[in-house]
Structure 1
Amino acid sequence: MKILETEGLVKRFGGLVAVNEVSLHVEEGEILG
């Protein structure tokens, strides 16, 4: 079971693209750090 999912995430700071098109899937019981 997915407890967290994002697709195509983009983060900008003014004109700077810091993160572009990131996808993340976290399943129940997984530990990320």
Structure 2
Amino acid sequence: MAKSKNHTAHNQSYKAHKNGIKKPRRHRNTSTKG
């Protein structure tokens, strides 16, 4: 179950990147992508 949860979170991040959606929840994403 823990693995499933991890996979979901990872998938969401990938999708956001593909869509180009920057969320304020990720503090590193803003710095990396800007």
Higher helix content, 1 or 2: 2
Higher strand content, 1 or 2: 1
- TM-score normalised to the size of structure 2? 0.16
Return the structure number with greater relative CO, CA threshold 8 A, min gap 6: 1
- Find the structure with the greater CA-based Rg: 1
